[in-house]
Amino acid sequence: MMHYILLLMLGVAGGIIGGVFGVGGGIIIVPVLILGFGLTQHMAQGTMLATLLLPSFVFAVWTYHKAGNINWPIALLVSLGMMFGAILGAMYAQALPAPTLRGAFGALLVVIGLKLIFGK
């Protein structure tokens, strides 16, 4: 039972981070699924992507829309590109060994973090 509660709490945390920062929650959910729940990198990423199939961010998008903070033409074009990019990225990720994929994910988080802290 506690396992289910922890997973629900992880979803809440990911939703809050996604809603506040617009990052989709994967920044916290993927590492926690690996380190806290023992999933492989591939399994954690696939599980995270599966959560996007559910309308988890519909309410956050609606809140931003009501505040006038969505540029819909840009969002739709980027979404169209993401559909194709996600297919290519998922195919590539499946071909990588788990340690390589995990290291690349960690490096991406570090690079983005450093750029946000020290970049202009």
Give the integer Cα–Cα distance in Å for 32 and 43: 12
Do the Cβ atoms of 98 and 41 come closer than 8 Å? yes
Residue-wise pLDDT tens digits, 38-82: 999 999 988 888 887 777 678 888 889 999 999 999 989 988 988
Report the pLDDT value the prediction gives residue 102, as an integer from 0 to 100.
92
Do the Cβ atoms of 57 and 39 come closer than 8 Å? no
Say which residue, 14 or 41, is predicted with more confidence. Answer: 41
Cβ atoms < 10 Å from Cβ of 62 = 11
Mean pLDDT throughout 92-103?
93
Report the pLDDT value the prediction gives residue 53, as an integer from 0 to 100.
72
Do the Cβ atoms of 93 and 42 come closer than 8 Å? yes
Q: Residue 21 above 80 pLDDT?
A: no
Q: Is the pTM of this model over 0.85?
A: no
Q: Residue 24 above 70 pLDDT?
A: no
The torsion angle over the Cα atoms of residues 113, 33, 93 and 87, rounded to 10 degrees, is: -90
Name the band, by pLDDT with cuts 50, 70 and 90, for residue 110. Answer: very high
Q: What is the 3-state secondary structure (H, E, C) of the chain?
A: CHHHHHHHHHHHHHHHHHHHHCCCCHHHHHHHHHHCCCCCHHHHHHHHHHHCCCCCCHHHHHHHHHCCCCCHHHHHHHHHHHHHHHHHHHHHHHHCCHHHHHHHHHHHHHHHHHHHHHCC
Mean pLDDT throughout 21-48?
86
Mean pLDDT throughout 3-24?
82
Report the pLDDT value the prediction gives residue 67, as an integer from 0 to 100.
95
